[in-house]
Structures are given as C-alpha cells and as structure tokens.
C-alpha cells in the first residue's frame, strides 16, 4: 500500500532527552579509551513502546522510501525539492542510550543521484552508513558521498559526533538498503544457527519466547555425553550492536571448526550460545530496548523480561543437571574495543583466567590496543556478567567491539579469542 506525502510528519517525538556522553566514536577515540561509567540502577518493569508505521513513502520524481522489512527504522520522510530528502529517525521510547539505529530502502523509476539527510530525535549521528543492493552484503558508504553537518565541539563522546549527515547516493529501479550497520535479523541469525547445526555435535532448540512470541534460540556444542563443564555465550542484548555479534559469530565458528585444538576442546567442554538475546528489538529496528521498552542488560537482577528469564531458567536447569560453568561472555558493541571484566580483587584466583585471556589476545593482536575497565561492584547483579558470576560462579566478561572496527579484524579477533580461551581452559 502506498501513501503519497509531500511532507510526512514524524509519527512521534517523545520529549524526554536521550543523554549519554560517556562513550566516544571509535575512529575518533583517543588512546586509552576508558569506557562508560558504572551502569545506574533502573526499573525494568514494562514501559510503553511506540511501534513504527510500516509502509512506502511515495515522493516527487517517482522516488520511494520504505521501512516495510524486518530490522528497518524510518519514522518520516520530507521531500525538500531538488532531489533532496530528509529522513527522521526516532527511538522506541525514552530515556535511551544514544544508539540511533536506522535502516530503510530507497528506489526510483527515474535513475539519478539524490541527497538524503539523516535527522535524529534528541541524538547525533553515531553510525557511519552502510549500503547494500541485496540486504545481505553491505559496504561502507564512500567518504566522498558523506557530509557531516554541525560537527560536535567535543573531542570525545557523542558530542564529538555531527548533528546531521548528508548522503549522496545513486538510485534506480532496484531498491538499495541504507543502514546503520549490517542487517542481521532474527531470520538471518536462525539460518546461521541452522547451518552450524548440520554438524553432528551441534544442536539448537528454543529456551523461551519473547514478548512478540519470537523464539529464544539456543545453540549447544556438545561432543561428549559425559561432559559437565560448560561455557556460556550470549550476544545482541542491544539491537544495533552488530560488531559484537560478528565477533561472536567468528568465535563460535572457530570452536565448532575442524582444527585439532577445537576437536580436543569439544571432548572436554560444552558450549551454550544464545546468539540473539533481543529478537523483538532487532526485528523492530530498536535503538536499545526490547518490546517491553527495557534495556535487557539491566534486568539480570529482577528478571521482569521474558528474554532474561529464559536464560536464567536454562542456567538453573543446567546447574541442577550437574553442570559447572567455567566461563561466560556477553558480546556487545560500543565506541571502541574494550573489555569489562570483574576486578580480580573480587574474583581472586577464580577470575584469573579472564585476565590471562585478555593478555593472550592482546599479545597475538598487538596492532589493536586493548582497553580494559574492570568493575569492583557485582551487587546488584543487574548486568549479565555480574549475574553469571554471582549466581552461577563462572568467571565472566563483557566483550565489546568498536562500532567501526574493520570487519576482517572482527573476524580475526573472534577467532583468536576462541583459540586462546580453548587453550587456557584445556591447560587449566
């Protein structure tokens, strides 16, 4: 169904401000990135979420925009004339972390170059645009086609980012995708899980359902029926954090690979993986939250959300079956690569493996500085890392990758991280 608008008013603008200046854009971050401040305690009971209107905007010169696909975020379009269009991007609710996700398709019956301006609700431009002709393979927009407007005055944090950006793109009869990061929707993630599950030692199954009844899929790597030592991996609590997912993907593929090291590791340790913790948020193009309007990585104390409850129930079941969890990792994305372990003054010898792991990864990948921010506070648990350690006695870490970390390096870092963890656990 098509709706013709000369000017489309944004469906909603929630007045609450979205303020978070604790992070910095990766390609501008100074050496020694310190990460964000300790997470504040926030309520995790459901809050209202504004769903997008989904459809096609039909504009002058037979130009069309749409958000009618999973993972899309496009809240309004204005035709400014002279082949210039303004896009509005708003959050699912506020207050919210400054992670303004966008994803839309554009095409025209009259091929030509157009200019698209991205405008955000109470935010600035965090993600450098990606472009695709098939929705699967993406590349970074050429810098010659990118213009920053009202550059930030700061050297660090969201205030260093531009207020708006303009993109010049050649459009034709075939749609092109323009997105903040690569699209990995719940359907695409499930296909990846299924592709690995063809291996005889890998299985997958549901451990719960989200608010919108999407599957919480878990993948199990198990080669030895007698194994009772396990590693727990989760990813994508926050929808835009695709670089963390890509590193996790390489990490799991390495453990599931054909190397002698991986084969030996699998005879001694099981690996449990929830690759997509927030399927509703991902498919609805959210900036941060699930369909309960909540940051899932603040709900590991009260468990008000079905996604965190599903993992808690799974871990409790495995503990009752006699499993010992020897390591846990939660893959995320932020402004630059950084590790968030629990300080060794809290974990003692039990947590030493986390710091040995960080050191060994850094030794093998010296070209990328390792930033570390250790936490001395584990109560209330609230975040996954703390819950894993306090309730299931596993050394745990939040493993963050930069928004703009080169994709080939993400893959290499995931592989090296897996190889070093396997080595350390087998030596231990």
- pLDDT tens digits for range 266-318: 999 999 999 999 999 999 999 999 999 999 999 999 999 999 999 999 999 99
The torsion angles phi and psi of 96, rounded to 5 degrees, stand at -155, 150
Q: Is the pTM of this model over 0.85?
A: yes
- The third-level CATH classification (topology) of the domain covering 186-427 is Aminopeptidase (3.40.630)
Decide whether 2-179 matches 186-427 in CATH topology. no
Q: Where are the alpha helices (DSSP H) in 97-156?
A: none
User: Are residues 249 and 192 in contact, defined by beta-carbon separation less than 8 angstroms?
Assistant: yes
Rounded CA-CA distance 236/273 in Å is 11
Rounded Cα distance between 421 and 231, Å, is 10
User: Mean pLDDT across the chain, nearest whole number?
Assistant: 92
CB 31: neighbour CB atoms within 10 A?
A: 7
pLDDT confidence of residue 116 = 98
Give the helix/strand (H/E) hosting 402.
strand 396-402
Q: How far apart are CA 135 and CA 412, in angstroms?
A: 24
Say if residue 319's pLDDT is above 60. Answer: yes
Q: Is 320 helix (H, G, I), strand (E, B) or coil?
A: helix
Amino acid 1: pLDDT: 43
pLDDT at 404: 94
Mean pLDDT across 398-405 = 96
* Average pLDDT value for residue range 315-329: 98
The 8-class DSSP code of residue 23 comes to -
- pLDDT-based confidence at residue 202 (cuts at 50, 70, 90): very high
Q: How far apart (Å, rounded) are the C-alpha atoms in residues 209 and 376?
A: 33
Confidence bin at 3 (pLDDT 50/70/90): very low
Task: Order across the sheet with 338-341: list the strands.
Answer: 202-209, 215-221, 270-274, 229-235, 324-334, 396-402, 338-341
Apex CA 268: angle with CA 265 and CA 271, to 5°?
75
CA distance linking residue 21 with residue 204, whole number of Å: 39
The domain locations on the chain are 2-179, 186-427
Position 38 scores a pLDDT of 75
Cβ atoms 234, 276 nearer than 8 A: no
Q: What is the CATH number of domain 2-179?
A: 2.60.40.3120
The pLDDT of 198-213, averaged and rounded, is: 98
Residue 13: pLDDT above 70?
no
CA pair distance 316, 404, nearest whole angstrom: 37
Question: Does the structure show a pLDDT above 90 at 130?
Answer: yes
Antiparallel, parallel or unpaired: β 338-341 and 270-274: unpaired
| Whether 342 contacts 378, CB under 8 Å | yes
Between 384-392 and 306-320, two packed helices, what is the crossing angle to 10 degrees?
A: 20
């Amino acid at each position: 169904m098509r709706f013709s608008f000369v000017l489309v008013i944004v469906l909603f603008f929630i007045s609450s401000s979205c303020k978070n200046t604790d992070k910095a854009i990766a390609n501008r971050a100074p050496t020694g990135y310190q990460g964000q401040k300790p997470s504040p305690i926030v309520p995790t009971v459901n809050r209202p979420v504004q769903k997008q209107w989904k459809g096609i905007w039909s504009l002058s010169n037979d130009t069309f925009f749409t958000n009618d696909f999973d993972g899309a975020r496009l809240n309004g379009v204005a035709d400014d004339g002279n082949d210039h269009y303004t896009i509005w991007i708003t959050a699912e609710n506020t207050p919210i972390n400054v992670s303004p996700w966008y994803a839309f398709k554009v095409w025209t019956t009259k091929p030509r170059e157009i200019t698209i301006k991205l405008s955000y609700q109470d935010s600035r431009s965090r993600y450098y645009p990606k472009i695709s002709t098939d929705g699967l393979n993406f590349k970074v927009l050429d810098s010659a086609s990118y213009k920053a407007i009202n550059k930030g005055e700061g050297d660090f944090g969201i205030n260093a980012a531009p207020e708006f950006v303009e993109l010049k793109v050649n459009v034709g009869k075939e749609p092109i995708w323009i997105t903040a990061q690569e699209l990995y929707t719940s359907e695409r993630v499930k296909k990846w899980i299924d592709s690995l599950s063809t291996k005889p030692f890998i299985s997958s199954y549901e451990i719960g359902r989200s608010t919108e009844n999407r599957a919480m899929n878990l993948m199990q790597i198990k080669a030895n029926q007698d194994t009772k030592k396990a590693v727990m991996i989760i990813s994508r609590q926050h929808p835009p954090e695709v670089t963390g997912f890509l590193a996790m993907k390489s990490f799991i593929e390495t453990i599931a690979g054909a190397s002698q090291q991986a084969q030996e590791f699998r005879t001694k340790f099981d690996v449990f993986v929830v690759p997509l913790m927030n399927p509703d948020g991902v498919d609805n193009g959210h900036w941060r939250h699930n369909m309960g309007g909540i940051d899932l990585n603040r709900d590991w104390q009260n468990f008000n959300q079905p996604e965190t409850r599903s993992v808690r129930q799974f871990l409790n079941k495995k503990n009752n079956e006699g499993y010992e969890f020897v390591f846990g990792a939660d893959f995320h994305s932020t402004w630059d690569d950084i590790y968030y372990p629990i300080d060794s003054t809290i974990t003692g010898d039990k947590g030493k493996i986390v710091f040995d792991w960080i050191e060994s990864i850094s030794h093998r990948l010296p070209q990328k500085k390792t930033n570390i921010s250790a936490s001395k506070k584990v109560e209330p648990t609230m975040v996954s890392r703390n819950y894993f350690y306090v309730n299931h006695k596993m050394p745990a870490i939040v493993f963050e990758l930069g928004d703009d970390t080169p994709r080939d390096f993400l893959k290499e870092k995931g592989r090296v991280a897996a190889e070093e963890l396997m080595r350390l656990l087998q030596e231990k």
